[in-house]
Structure 1
């Protein structure tokens, strides 16, 4: 099971809901973040800490005869997860579909002791 997530947020109305699932072959993190594009996400792995962040910039412009008004709005969040040592960091994959970011965290294959046959001479 993944340890508790440490998270930071700023400029975002709410922290996205996160589900963590474990199977025999790995873990999956699901982040509910509708309205974003895959380009808005950044994932980074440092040692055994996975950081998922997203930034979305929205620009609104209103023009009339007498004035022009522009507003910039930034939505951003960041969550950091401490991963178990049995996660294979080289094989982490992420996809974004239907407003949900899916992060696949496969487990390392267990190294089984080699069996060696010894011939009797």
Structure 2
């Protein structure tokens, strides 16, 4: 049983898949055409004054099965593979009646806004939740220099 692509990000203009799917002339290939990886991992993205924080629900995925990358300097990629339970009868007289939990490869891609410090991305995994933090550049305060008025 493979993961099924969800339409959860169909209205998210910051998601890379949004632009691929919204291309009426077919000049941008969709994610499904680019690779056989499917997307149904749920991801929350919040912005704080200091960073962009992504939280992905990855139940049953170990830390070594998940991967976080930054492509082309501005695309955050969360990917990995959820292990599959053996569905074959291995001589134990077991029989599956119903299988709903998904397994297989997953991938989510997000275009990061300007000012994201991709060189300082950090990630942690706790209780099946992957948290990726992308710090933001400090907003530069304008330097004010008093000018002496002569005359």
TM-score by length of 2: 0.59
Aligned pair partner of 2:68 in 43, 64, 75 = 43
Partner of 2:57: 32
Give the C-alpha shift of residue 57 in structure 1.
3.5
The structure in which a higher percent of residues are strand is 1
Supply the distance in 2 between the matched residues of 1:85 and 1:28 (Cα, whole angstroms).
15
Specify whether residues 112 and 101 from structure 1 end up closer, same or farther in structure 2 by C-alpha distance, changes over 3 A only: same
Unmatched segments (≥5 aa) in structure 1? 65-72
Q: With CA pairs under 8 Å and 6+ residues apart, which has the higher RCO, 1 or 2? A: 1
Partner of 1:84: 113
How many residues end up aligned between the 2 structures? 108
Supply the distance in 1 between the matched residues of 2:140 and 2:45 (Cα, whole angstroms).
26
TM-score by length of 1: 0.72
Partner of 1:58: 84
Query: Hey, which bits of structure 1, 4+ residues long, moved more than 6 A?
Result: 115-118
Unmatched segments (≥5 aa) in structure 2? 1-11, 18-30, 93-101
Alignment of 1:12-23 (within 5 A): 15-23=40-48
CA RMSD of aligned residues (A): 3.0
The structure in which a higher percent of residues are helix is 2
Deviation digits for residues 44-92 of structure 1 (CA, Å, limit 9, x no counterpart): 112111111011333637147xxxxxxxx95111111000111111111
